[in-house]
Chain A
Amino acid sequence: MSNTRIQRRMEALKASGRKALIPYIVAGDPTPTVTVPAMHAVVEAGADIIELGMPFSDPFADGPVNQRGAERAINSGMTLAGVVTTVSEFRKDDNDTPIVLMGYLNPVIAMGETIFCEAAAAAGVDGLLIVDMPPEEEGSLVQSAKMNGLDLIYLAAPTTTDERLQTIGKATSGYLYYVSLKGITGSSKLDTSDVSQRVAYMRQHVSVPICVGFGIRNAKDAAVISSAADGSIVGTVLVSQVEALVDQPEKIPNALKAILEPMRQAMDTNG
């Protein structure tokens, strides 16, 4: 039996011939109280794994939509410790859905890599995706993550060379996050046939499941992507919805559900 929640979930999906639907939301956006209900809502809509954003003040790999999400979260008082607590709260009612914390390195350094990994694992976090920590810069965070049984998810891009793909393929665990476009989160163009070819090619170097993010906006995108990859990661379109409901946060959980349900449906009827 595989030992992490992410690996178990990926194997179960594979066994049933389904693909992973992975929503991304920012913890604390726009208020800390809406995050746990939003997480439960996306699971009800069919999410298999949740990527929970750890807000950072200077998210230079993200587009303006996600940066505003992070700013709202920071302004609402969300901290890295608060993100961990949010996961503990979520775990009270859901012990199955894997959680990946996604963010930037500096807040983790500020807390201390070991303290952070221990706290995250104890809270029920399953994986970490640190956007600005490529395998070349692995430090004490990697060791701490491994000691605490956390998967480390790395990114691959259309421009990633074969040589680096091998390095990344060895480093990543749980799944590989393929950034489907050149550019930042929330970019508009998505060439789905390119993505299919590239994913097929990457499988030569990468043994873990490959999930694809950046540019997936609707059910059709999600279905096409997941016919080629092992999962679709949906972020900016959800953060945009949160932004639209910033004055009515109580409506956010259902609104996110309404975006994800058609995606789930399209992905499942796909294959």
Chain B
Amino acid sequence: MALTEQELRTLEYEPDTGGHFGDYGGRYVSETLMAALNELDHSYQNLKNDPDFQREFDADLASFVGRPSPLYHAGRWSKVIGGAQIYFKREDLNHTGAHKVNNTIGQALLAKYSGKPRVIAETGAGQHGVASATVAARLGLECVVYMGADDIERQSPNVYRMKLLGAEVVSVESGSRTLKDALSEAMRDWVTNVDDTFYIIGTVAGPAPYPQLVRDFNAVVGREVKWQSREIFGKYPDALVACVGGGSNAIGLFYPFLRDAEVAIYGVEAAGRGLSTNEHAAPLCSGRPGVLHGAKTYLMDNSDGQIAHTHSVSAGLDYPGVGPEHAYLKDIGRANYVGATDDEALAAFHEVSQIEGIIPALETAHALAYTKTLAASMRPNQTIVCNMSGRGDKDIFTVAKMEGISLT
């Protein structure tokens, strides 16, 4: 299934009209959703090349989000590790503190251009919920966010933020009470209220056209890295590293580099308590192809095809599926997918906080953990760009609690 380097350099990397990336993706949904997805696809294919839409999107990214985000040389950490030079793409400096806002601005503008006054979203760690509520407030849209009951407990600061922004947060008590159940619940809302409601999916998972449009809105990350890396160190990076839950920050960084086969690509999944245990959230590392939430992709299920309960210290990676484009990139050999455990992520969380003065999100800490391993295996004249996808303010309570420290 793996392709040759020449093939990788000339591939289109675009889905077919049915939204398939190779064998993955597509629209595995009930007929009740089909019209809504077709309508969304139609309006997106029209708007993505519309100059007014693009201008408004770019202007919002500049003046509301604060783009371009810097490409920062983590010089001290690189030196401590003693291998490749590590650069952080500072998505943590975006308004709302993560890459998520790139996508919510794009989708909220789609909602506005499609004349839908109400937006809904699902959220795991709460970052996408906050980003959706933020943009909805700015555009004057009604906003409802679905969030697993367990995640609400883990991420109470973000729940309060969403409320401050005027959003309604609905606690999802079904199933495993995490991200996958919030996603199911949001789809139900959408099916019922499709006439006036736009569903802002937070990651590159779900039925077509979501994986494509969420990727396109996040691809600004990789496009900036292309010119920033040339400007700062005169060439493209030797390697890219990003964490992968659904995979939107990762695909945003990877996508513009897919045809540059000399750039190695690493996606880091949550290995939880270890890939050899059942307590992780790493479908690409140890799952198998199946169908979940409207797309064919790698997922974690039991022998009977029931979706598995996953585990990760980070709510944002705690999802049993993954974006179908990642499944495709894995199979054709363009990207490598590896795991970082809870413990490795926590160690990187502390290390980067103390050495670089940046408290990363726990999701991002997984990418940092692997970056450390990778950098150590490379030479000092080589470079790695690691996507600093989010900041860790939201996680300090989780980390403190794990370490037996009370903050209240």
B175, CB-defined interface residue at 8 Å: yes
A-B residue pair count with CB separations less than 8 angstroms: 124
- A108-B305, A160-B31 known; A60+B184 contact, CB < 8 A: yes
Tell me the minimal C-beta distance from B93 to chain A in angstroms. 35
Q: Which of A68, A106, A160, A184 has the most CB of B within 10 A?
A: A106
Query: Which chain A residues lie closer than 8 Å to B296 at the CB level?
Result: 137
A122, CB-defined interface residue at 8 Å: no
Distance in angstroms between the alpha carbons of A59 and B184 in the assembled complex: 8
- A80-B304, A132-B28, A132-B29 known; A57+B188 contact, CB < 8 A: no
Query: Which chain A residues lie closer than 8 Å to B34 at the CB level?
Result: 134, 157, 159-160, 164
Residue of A nearest to B28 (CB): A132
Tell whether, in the assembled complex, residue B32 and residue A179 are in contact, meaning their CB atoms are under 8 Å apart. Answer: yes
Tell whether, in the assembled complex, residue A111 and residue B305 are in contact, meaning their CB atoms are under 8 Å apart. Answer: yes
Would you list which residues of chain B between 190 and 246 have a CB under 8 Å from chain A? Answer: 191-192, 194-195
Residue of B nearest to A103 (CB): B305
Quick one: CB contact mask for A64-106 with B, threshold 8 Å, 1 for yes? Answer: 1001100100100001110000000000000000000000111
Q: Which of A56, A68, A132 has the most CB of B within 10 A?
A: A132
- A134-B31, A160-B31 known; A106+B292 contact, CB < 8 A: yes
Q: Which of A74, A108, A110, A160 has the most CB of B within 10 A?
A: A110
B307, CB-defined interface residue at 8 Å: yes
Query: Which chain A residues lie closer than 8 Å to B29 at the CB level?
Result: 61, 132, 134
Tell me the minimal C-beta distance from A257 to chain B in angstroms. 29
Distance in angstroms between the alpha carbons of A67 and B303 in the assembled complex: 20
Tell me the minimal C-beta distance from B181 to chain A in angstroms. 8
Tell whether, in the assembled complex, residue A74 and residue B291 are in contact, meaning their CB atoms are under 8 Å apart. Answer: no
Tell whether, in the assembled complex, residue B180 and residue A58 are in contact, meaning their CB atoms are under 8 Å apart. Answer: yes
A119, CB-defined interface residue at 8 Å: no
Distance in angstroms between the alpha carbons of A184 and B193 in the assembled complex: 11
A155, CB-defined interface residue at 8 Å: yes
B170, CB-defined interface residue at 8 Å: no
- A58-B292, A74-B306, A107-B305 known; A161+B27 contact, CB < 8 A: no
Would you list which residues of chain B between 12 and 36 have a CB under 8 Å from chain A? Answer: 18, 26-36
Contact residues on A (Cβ < 8 Å of other chain), bracket: 35 or more
Tell me the minimal C-beta distance from A238 to chain B in angstroms. 20
Tell whether, in the assembled complex, residue B175 and residue A132 are in contact, meaning their CB atoms are under 8 Å apart. Answer: no
Tell whether, in the assembled complex, residue B304 and residue A79 are in contact, meaning their CB atoms are under 8 Å apart. Answer: yes
B187, CB-defined interface residue at 8 Å: yes
Distance in angstroms between the alpha carbons of A68 and B291 in the assembled complex: 21
Query: Which chain B residues lie closer than 8 Å to A68 at the CB level?
Result: 174
Tell whether, in the assembled complex, residue B175 and residue A182 are in contact, meaning their CB atoms are under 8 Å apart. Answer: no
B293, CB-defined interface residue at 8 Å: yes
Distance in angstroms between the alpha carbons of A168 and B35 in the assembled complex: 13
- A57-B175, A58-B175, A132-B291 known; A157+B35 contact, CB < 8 A: yes
Tell whether, in the assembled complex, residue A184 and residue B191 are in contact, meaning their CB atoms are under 8 Å apart. Answer: yes
Distance in angstroms between the alpha carbons of A111 and B306 in the assembled complex: 11
Contact residues on B (Cβ < 8 Å of other chain), bracket: 35 or more
From A61, A64, A105, A109, B32 is in contact (CB under 8 Å) with A61
Tell me the minimal C-beta distance from B298 to chain A in angstroms. 12
- A61-B30, A71-B175 known; A56+B35 contact, CB < 8 A: no
B301, CB-defined interface residue at 8 Å: yes
Query: Which chain B residues lie closer than 8 Å to A79 at the CB level?
Result: 304
B333, CB-defined interface residue at 8 Å: no
From A81, A109, A157, A160, B290 is in contact (CB under 8 Å) with A109
A240, CB-defined interface residue at 8 Å: no
Tell whether, in the assembled complex, residue A106 and residue B192 are in contact, meaning their CB atoms are under 8 Å apart. Answer: no
Tell whether, in the assembled complex, residue B291 and residue A64 are in contact, meaning their CB atoms are under 8 Å apart. Answer: no
B274, CB-defined interface residue at 8 Å: no
Distance in angstroms between the alpha carbons of A179 and B180 in the assembled complex: 25
Query: Which chain B residues lie closer than 8 Å to A67 at the CB level?
Result: 174-175
Distance in angstroms between the alpha carbons of A61 and B181 in the assembled complex: 12
B294, CB-defined interface residue at 8 Å: yes
Tell me the minimal C-beta distance from A250 to chain B in angstroms. 27
Tell whether, in the assembled complex, residue A136 and residue B30 are in contact, meaning their CB atoms are under 8 Å apart. Answer: no
Query: Which chain B residues lie closer than 8 Å to A161 at the CB level?
Result: 35, 38
From A64, A110, A179, B305 is in contact (CB under 8 Å) with A110
- A58-B307, A184-B191 known; A179+B291 contact, CB < 8 A: no
A259, CB-defined interface residue at 8 Å: no
Distance in angstroms between the alpha carbons of A109 and B307 in the assembled complex: 12
Q: Which of A81, A105, A154 has the most CB of B within 10 A?
A: A105
Tell whether, in the assembled complex, residue B306 and residue A107 are in contact, meaning their CB atoms are under 8 Å apart. Answer: yes
Tell me the minimal C-beta distance from B299 to chain A in angstroms. 8
Quick one: CB contact mask for A108-145 with B, threshold 8 Å, 1 for yes? Answer: 11110000000000000000000111101100000000
Tell me the minimal C-beta distance from A61 to chain B in angstroms. 4
Tell me the minimal C-beta distance from B229 to chain A in angstroms. 39
Tell me the minimal C-beta distance from A73 to chain B in angstroms. 10
A183, CB-defined interface residue at 8 Å: yes
Residue of B nearest to A108 (CB): B305
Query: Which chain B residues lie closer than 8 Å to A106 at the CB level?
Result: 290-292, 299, 301, 305-307
Distance in angstroms between the alpha carbons of A187 and B189 in the assembled complex: 11
Cβ contacts A to B, 25 pairs, < 8 Å: A57-B175, A58-B175, A59-B184, A60-B183, A61-B29, A63-B188, A79-B304, A104-B291, A105-B291, A106-B290, A106-B306, A109-B305, A110-B303, A134-B34, A136-B18, A137-B26, A154-B31, A155-B30, A157-B34, A168-B31, A179-B31, A182-B195, A183-B191, A184-B32, A184-B191
Cβ-closest 4 pairs across A and B: A110-B305, A107-B305, A159-B35, A61-B30
Q: Which residues of B are at the interface with A, using a C-beta cutoff of 8 A?
A: 18, 26-36, 38, 174-175, 180-181, 183-184, 187-188, 191-192, 194-195, 289-294, 296, 299, 301, 303-307
Q: Which residues of A are at the interface with B, using a C-beta cutoff of 8 A?
A: 56-61, 63-64, 67-68, 71, 74, 79-81, 104-111, 131-134, 136-137, 154-157, 159-161, 164, 168, 179, 182-184, 187
Give 5 A-B pairs besides A58-B307, A132-B294 with Cβ atoms closer than 8 angstroms: A60-B294, A106-B301, A111-B305, A133-B28, A159-B34
